[in-house]
A = this chain, B = another copy of it.
Amino acid sequence: MQPIGFKSHDHGTCIAHSVTSVQKQCAERGLQLTPVRQRVLEILLAKHQAMGAYDILAVLKADGFSAQPPVAYRALDFLVGNGFAHKIERLNAFVACSHPSSEHVPAFLICRVCENVAEGIANLSEDTVAASARDAGFIIERAVVEAEGVCPNCDGAQP
């Protein structure tokens, strides 16, 4: 699977598709995609960049929602907990999931210049990681790969 985020694409439909997909899944799984939750998802989808909780909060405030930290964190917990968004631990920030329809180990390619984030899919089960875990008797419940570097748009432009 290809990461998206560094290649030009029709971002309008990209957003629309994602929202529709999440709405559909929520309906199927009996989850409530409430106004705040959907709005936070849209905010995240607006760009392929990680956003901090307080950045999101500022947008929510401008939209007339209550702007206390828990508002943002609760919505983010919902989205992350149900696989509609991910937290980039390295940045203490969040991104909408690019592959919301399937279970996967996300692999983030984080550009340290423009801060855009592309999400690929790692295949740890065929990596030495899975072998190590197996040998150690460790049961992996969830995992994430975070890679920092330079994206093609920034390579050459900025060192």
- A residues sitting closer than 8 Å to B (CB atoms) are 1-3, 6-7, 89-90, 107, 109, 111-112, 118, 120-124, 126-129, 132-133, 135-152, 155
Contact = CB atoms under 8 A, between A and B. Distances in A.
Contacts of A135: 2-3
A146 B144 contact: yes
Contacts of A150: 138-139, 141
Nearest to A5: B136
Contacts of A139: 149-150, 155
A147 B155 CA distance: 30
A109 to B, nearest CB: 5
Contact of A129 (B6, B112, B120): B120
Contacts of A112: 141
The secondary-structure label for the interface of chain A is: mixed
Task: Please name the 9 residue pairs, one residue from A and one from B, whose CB atoms are nearest each other, closest first.
Answer: A137-B152, A89-B89, A120-B132, A143-B147, A141-B149, A123-B128, A140-B149, A107-B129, A140-B147
13 contacts: A6-B137, A111-B138, A121-B132, A122-B124, A124-B127, A124-B145, A124-B147, A127-B145, A129-B145, A138-B150, A140-B148, A141-B150, A142-B148
Nearest to A132: B120
